[in-house]
Amino acid sequence: MIVSTTTPRTFIDTYAADLRRRHRKSYAPLGIAHDALEEGLRRGQACIFTATSRVTGEVDAAVASLWDEVNYYYWMTTRRIHVRPVHNSTEYPDGAWQRSWDDNAGGAGSGTRQMTNDLVDDSYWPLVQPLGNLVILCARAEASLFDLVAVLAGVDERQAQAVLKQPDAKGQVLTLVRDRSGFQGGELTELVEGIENYWTDRGHRNRYYHDEWHLFLTGSGTAATRGLPSHKGSQIVFDNLTVEEIWALAARFREHDDLFTHAAYVVLRSRPE
């Protein structure tokens, strides 16, 4: 890999091209991001880096950072995301996952894979990567929600965290959004629905975190979960989860992260200096 700097225009063009390739859209106009990066570089409060393949000459990853006395923002894009292994196979689309291990041959990468195989039964191996992505992306979405609540309520992150630990946390967040965001129409509807969906997805995530994992002894030893009752009279819940379902849940948490980050940014920009 060749790591180097680049211009805001080149970065935004790369970022936009990767969004189109994934059939996604930016939550904020990229023209604003370009202008902000230009001004940030002029003030010494921004930096942009790219990682270019020595073999193909293509940009494999790029990141742009922008900061001030209070906040830190970044945009990141990579061609090596959502690399999904074929079920019960070591083959990976476009060879991307295999390249990652090859780059680390004899180092931390190969050691990590061997350690993982020693820690979990082989039947769990197809779930390791999507569950790892789920853990990271869920944590990022939760942190972005902390930031959004802090902006809306005018409190620090610790106080925002206290709000989210309340039994009626979702209701409190929705009230803050409706009363203090200044959003209207479709923008408000999108954020409200996003918060509702976040809580639903977090419930699914909690099942993967806290339920009992086991293997069916028939067939190929498919992994499944068994949820213990949390309330008197509730039923035990079984889930024969799939790799695709976990990837989809992880992807939704990335969308929650994007939505909350953008909402906090818009609210901050709308307020007088």
- Give yes or no: residues 10 and 99 share one domain: no
- Give yes or no: residues 59 and 88 share one domain: no
- Give yes or no: residues 155 and 191 share one domain: yes
Task: Please tell me the total count of domains within the chain.
Answer: 3
> Cα(214)–Cα(241) distance, rounded to whole angstroms?
11
Domain boundary among 78, 107, 136: 78
> Tell me: the pLDDT tens digits for 188-206?
999 999 999 999 999 888 8
> Tell me: the pLDDT tens digits for 37-72?
999 999 999 999 988 878 778 888 889 998 888 788
- Give yes or no: residues 180 and 205 share one domain: yes
- Give yes or no: residues 165 and 258 share one domain: yes
Handedness of CA 179, 183, 186, 191 (dihedral sign): negative
> Cα(256)–Cα(137) distance, rounded to whole angstroms?
9
Domain boundary among 46, 78, 110: 78
- Give yes or no: residues 115 and 127 share one domain: no
pLDDT value, residue 19: 78
- Give yes or no: residues 128 and 256 share one domain: yes
pLDDT value, residue 74: 80
> Tell me: the pLDDT tens digits for 144-182?
999 999 999 998 878 888 999 999 999 999 999 999 999
- Give yes or no: residues 128 and 169 share one domain: yes
- Give yes or no: residues 160 and 149 share one domain: yes
- Give yes or no: residues 46 and 155 share one domain: no
- Give yes or no: residues 110 and 187 share one domain: no
Q: Does pTM top 0.85 for this prediction?
A: no
Domain boundary among 119, 135, 169: 119
- Give yes or no: residues 98 and 233 share one domain: no
Q: Could you tell me the residue range of the domain that residue 24 belongs to?
A: 2-78
Proportion of the chain above pLDDT 90, given as a percent: 32
